[in-house]
């Protein structure tokens, strides 16, 4: 009885969140569009660079990109295209859809790889540190995480590239077009450090707290092995806050991806966004950001629902 | 429940003619940053099948630590067993290798905790937590284990067991949760059950139900029960014998009726006098002055002397009083037990 009630609650919660997500989507794209619009000086001149732009070309381009229309009409044009799957063309005259089809798989691969690396390392070392607080492993991890926390990714990325890529030659220094897992390993590791420090600390604190709880004593009184007590009872409870954190970390990863993809020359979302912002390429930036917004909304929703699966005490009312 | 016994791996040296449980001169200390707390200072206990031994005392007197030492679930560090023996049917549990020690838990000696809400894992269904015992200790499949879990819930009289087996601890009421706890402890048919304040977190009517359920299950299984409590009222109804603990020592041990009629230790007497009674309504209640000693600085001599009305200089001098035989099966750790016992009885 209680179970079906909870399922119904969860369903209503899900619907409400999806509706909220739609609003968020329109709001976010509107703001990004407005920002790009406000920032525009003369995108056509930026495009032409140093050369003078002939008047007839300027007129033709202005017409093609609706640059003469008021802002709200331009946004309307844009959204109509977006909702019908037409992302338009960038100011460099390339299909944005095509650019995305090349960029997104690369960034998704990079981000997933970074998350896997971050989770593997931080959950493992978080558990060990949590069990042996104050021991040598805990102390060394603490020092390393402090260093990682203190190093911004703009410093760490080139350093790692120089060290492991150029000098030691363990990994390729740049990834290049259509990079595979091996090419992405170093940039993903750099990206992972961005979130690893916090994830280790959260796992450690969570494990330490759960180890002290009464149900651990019960599990031991049940004659369960230490491995089972920690691997099943403590772990399942300790992972709840870590999973939430991983969802939130996705934002950090995307921000970090802009720098990392730039440094390692990875033709992903960050790379394109960076170029788009520099060249005032409105359609390009808004297109990529719109998809980013959708990714965020979906990931956050998944994390929230996962939270309920992991912790049966959570209720959605 | 008959197939269970056959499956139990027999402990080497298990002697069915030896006493069910015998604790001798148990010593436990906690090594903390502020000093060494001597939590248990030579505790002797024994238990026979079907018998209920109540361990009585204030918070911090070492009741729960004794229980955890017997179970082998003392947090170590900081807790260390520094001496004594705990023998189960002749097998000294303290010298057993950890792997065998682990199998003793739940199979032979099981434990119920005070607060079932925190003692049960919040993220697993009660069915999982009950079934886990059969899966780990009996190698049963998930399906069989679940079937056994339902039987257990039935045994402790939880209504609609088949549906409730999938519920989580927070979906049960306090009393029902404690029943789940009992079911979990009795799952593998242990011979000794330690109940650490099993009813303290419950309201009075539910307390009575849980105690009578425990007593019933104990009778059915002829199980030895160690009941840890600070509630003299609960003890009077169910216990056969009482061990009163103070500052990590048993200060008095006696059959339940004798101790109520004629306590032989000043501490026991003071405890009895601090129970509110209807016939003394309106009178000032006798409470024990002062606090239990700090376990890092237990007073020399009898640990109770700073709070004791009978104390004289001999009580302050080491060594602490030895056990005096008050009667057959009755001991008290007090130089002046004759005077204490000779006084007016505490409970008429």
- In a domain? residue B306: yes
Q: What is the CATH number of the domain that holds B11?
A: 3.40.50.300
Report d(CA A179, CA A171) in Å as an integer: 12
Q: What is the pLDDT of residue B165?
A: 92
Q: Quick one: tokens of A60?
A: 């033709």
- pLDDT band of residue A3 (cuts 50, 70, 90) is low
- In a domain? residue B248: no
| B122 touching A (Cβ < 8 Å) | yes
Q: What is the pLDDT of residue A316?
A: 66
Q: What is the pLDDT of residue B343?
A: 61
**In a shared domain, residues B307 and B231:** no
**A226 vs chain B: nearest CA distance in angstroms?**
10
- Of B239, B256, B278, the one marking the end of a domain is B239
Report d(CA B196, CA B214) in Å as an integer: 13
Residue A120 vs residue A300, higher pLDDT: A120
Residue of B97, B108, B123 best to disrupt the A interface, most CBs of A under 10 A: B123
A222: nearest CA in chain B?
B106
- In a domain? residue B245: no
Q: What is the pLDDT of residue B164?
A: 92
Report d(CA B40, CA A56) in Å as an integer: 97
Q: What is the pLDDT of residue B9?
A: 58
- In a domain? residue A10: no
**In a shared domain, residues B208 and B114:** yes
Q: What is the pLDDT of residue B281?
A: 75
B98: nearest CA in chain A?
A225
Domain carrying residue B328: 265-342
**B208 vs chain A: nearest CA distance in angstroms?**
24
Work out the burial of residue A235: count CB atoms within 10 Å of its CB; fewer than 13 is exposed, 13-18 middle, 19 or more buried. Answer: middle
Closest to B240 measured CA to CA, from B224, B252, B220, B217: B224
- pLDDT band of residue A47 (cuts 50, 70, 90) is low
**In a shared domain, residues B8 and B85:** yes
Domain carrying residue A104: 100-310
Of B68, B123, B136, the CB nearest to A312: B123
Q: What is the mean pLDDT of residues A167-196?
A: 82
Q: What is the pLDDT of residue B1?
A: 43
Q: Specify the residue for token string 């014998």.
A: B241
**B120 vs chain A: nearest CA distance in angstroms?**
5
A153-162, A277-286, B202-211: segment of lowest average pLDDT: A277-286
Q: pLDDT tens digits for B76-89?
A: 778 899 988 999 98
- Which residues in chain A touch residue B104, judged by CB atoms under 8 angstroms apart? 223
Q: What is the pLDDT of residue B194?
A: 94
Per the structure, how many domains does chain A have?
1
Residue A76 vs residue A224, higher pLDDT: A224
Report d(CA B141, CA B226) in Å as an integer: 32
Per the structure, how many domains does chain B have?
2
- Which residues in chain A touch residue B73, judged by CB atoms under 8 angstroms apart? 217, 220-221
Q: What is the pLDDT of residue A206?
A: 93
Q: What is the pLDDT of residue B34?
A: 85
Task: Measure Cα distances from A279 to A41, A58, A100, A283, B80 in Å.
Answer: 11, 17, 17, 11, 70
Please give the ipTM for the structure prediction: 0.86
Q: What is the mean pLDDT of residues A138-151?
A: 88
Q: What is the pLDDT of residue A1?
A: 43
Contact B110, B21 (CB under 8 A): no
Report d(CA B74, CA B78) in Å as an integer: 9
Q: pLDDT tens digits for A166-176?
A: 888 787 877 77
CB–CB of B137 and A215 under 8 A?
A: no
Q: B163-167: long-range contacts at Cβ-Cβ below 8 A with a sequence spacing of 24 or more?
A: B163/A1, B164/B126, B165/B125, B165/B126, B165/B127, B165/B130, B166/A3, B166/B125, B166/B127, B167/A2, B167/A3, B167/B125, B167/B126
- Which residues in chain B touch residue A225, judged by CB atoms under 8 angstroms apart? 102, 136
Of B103, B119, B168, the CB nearest to A218: B119
Q: What is the mean pLDDT of residues A116-128?
A: 92
- Which residues in chain A touch residue B133, judged by CB atoms under 8 angstroms apart? 222-223
| B110 touching A (Cβ < 8 Å) | yes
**A236 vs chain B: nearest CA distance in angstroms?**
7
Low-confidence ranges of chain B (pLDDT < 50): 1-7, 345-348
| B100 touching A (Cβ < 8 Å) | no
Q: Are strands B91-92 and B79-88 parallel, antiparallel or unpaired?
A: antiparallel
Q: What is the pLDDT of residue B309?
A: 82
Angle, in degrees to the nearest 10, between helices B126-138 and B98-107: 130
- In a domain? residue B321: yes
Q: What is the CATH number of the domain that holds A132?
A: 1.10.3720.10
Q: Are strands B241-246 and B249-255 parallel, antiparallel or unpaired?
A: antiparallel
Q: What is the pLDDT of residue A317?
A: 58
Q: What is the pLDDT of residue B3?
A: 46
Contact A194, A151 (CB under 8 A): no
DSSP state of B294: P
Q: pLDDT tens digits for B105-114?
A: 999 999 999 8
């Amino acid at each position: 009885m209680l179970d079906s009630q909870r399922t119904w609650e969860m369903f209503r919660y899900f619907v409400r969140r999806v509706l909220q997500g739609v609003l968020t989507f329109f709001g976010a794209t509107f703001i990004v569009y407005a920002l790009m619009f406000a920032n525009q000086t003369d995108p056509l001149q930026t495009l032409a660079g140093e050369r003078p732009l002939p008047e007839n070309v300027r007129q033709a381009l202005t017409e093609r990109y609706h640059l003469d229309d008021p802002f709200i009409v331009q946004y309307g044009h844009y959204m109509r295209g977006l909702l019908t799957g037409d992302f338009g063309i960038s100011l460099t005259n390339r299909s944005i859809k095509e650019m995305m089809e090349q960029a997104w798989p690369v960034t998704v691969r990079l981000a997933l790889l970074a998350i896997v690396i971050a989770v593997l390392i931080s959950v493992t070392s978080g558990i060990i540190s949590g069990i042996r607080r104050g021991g040598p492993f805990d102390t060394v991890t603490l020092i390393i995480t402090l260093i990682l926390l203190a190093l911004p990714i703009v410093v760490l990325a080139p350093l790692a590239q120089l060290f492991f890529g150029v000098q030691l030659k363990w990994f390729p220094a740049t990834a290049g077009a259509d990079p595979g897992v091996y090419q992405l390993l170093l940039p993903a590791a750099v990206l992972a450090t961005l979130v690893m420090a916090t994830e280790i600390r959260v796992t450690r604190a969570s494990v330490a707290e759960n180890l002290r709880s009464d149900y651990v004593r019960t599990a031991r009184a049940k004659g369960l092995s230490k491995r089972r007590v920690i691997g099943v009872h403590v772990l399942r409870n300790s992972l709840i806050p870590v999973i939430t954190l991983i969802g939130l970390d996705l934002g950090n990863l995307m921000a970090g991806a802009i720098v990392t993809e730039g440094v390692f020359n990875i033709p992903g979302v960050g790379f394109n966004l960076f170029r788009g912002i520099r060249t005032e390429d409105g359609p390009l930036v808004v297109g990529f950001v719109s998809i980013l917004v959708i990714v965020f909304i979906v990931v956050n929703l998944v994390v929230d629902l996962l939270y309920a699966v992991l912790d049966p005490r959570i209720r959605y009312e | 429940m008959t197939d269970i016994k056959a499956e139990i791996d027999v402990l080497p040296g298990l002697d069915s003619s030896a006493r069910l449980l015998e604790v001798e001169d148990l010593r436990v200390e906690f090594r903390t940053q502020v000093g060494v707390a001597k939590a248990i200072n030579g505790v002797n206990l024994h238990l026979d099948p079907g018998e209920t031994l109540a361990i009585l005392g204030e918070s911090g007197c070492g009741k729960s630590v004794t229980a955890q030492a017997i179970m082998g679930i003392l947090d170590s560090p900081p807790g260390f067993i520094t001496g004594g023996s705990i023998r189960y049917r002749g097998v000294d549990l303290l010298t057993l290798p950890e792997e065998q020690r682990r199998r003793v838990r739940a199979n032979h000696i099981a434990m119920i905790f005070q607060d079932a809400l925190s003692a049960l894992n919040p993220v697993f269904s009660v069915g999982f937590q009950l079934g886990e015992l059969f899966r780990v200790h009996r190698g049963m499949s998930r399906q069989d284990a679940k079937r056994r879990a339902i039987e257990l819930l039935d045994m402790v009289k939880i209504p609609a067991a088949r549906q409730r087996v999938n519920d989580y601890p927070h979906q049960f009421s306090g009393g029902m949760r404690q029943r789940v706890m009992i079911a979990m402890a009795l799952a593998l048919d242990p011979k000794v059950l330690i109940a650490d304040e099993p009813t303290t977190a419950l309201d009075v009517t539910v307390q009575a139900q849980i105690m009578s359920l425990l007593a019933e299950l104990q009778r059915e299984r002829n199980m030895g029960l160690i009941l840890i409590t600070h509630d003299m009222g609960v003890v009077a109804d169910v216990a056969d014998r009482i061990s009163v603990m103070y500052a990590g020592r048993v200060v008095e041990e006696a059959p339940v009726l004798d101790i109520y009629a004629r306590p032989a230790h000043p501490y026991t007497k003071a405890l009895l006098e601090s129970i509110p009674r209807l016939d003394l309504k309106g009178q000032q209640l006798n409470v024990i002055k002062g606090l239990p000693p700090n376990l890092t600085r237990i007073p020399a001599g009898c640990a109770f002397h700073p709070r004791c009305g009978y104390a004289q200089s001999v009580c302050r001098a080491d060594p602490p009083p030895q056990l005096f035989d008050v009667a057959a099966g009755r001991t008290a750790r007090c130089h002046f037990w004759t005077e204490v016992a000779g006084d007016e009885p505490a409970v008429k």
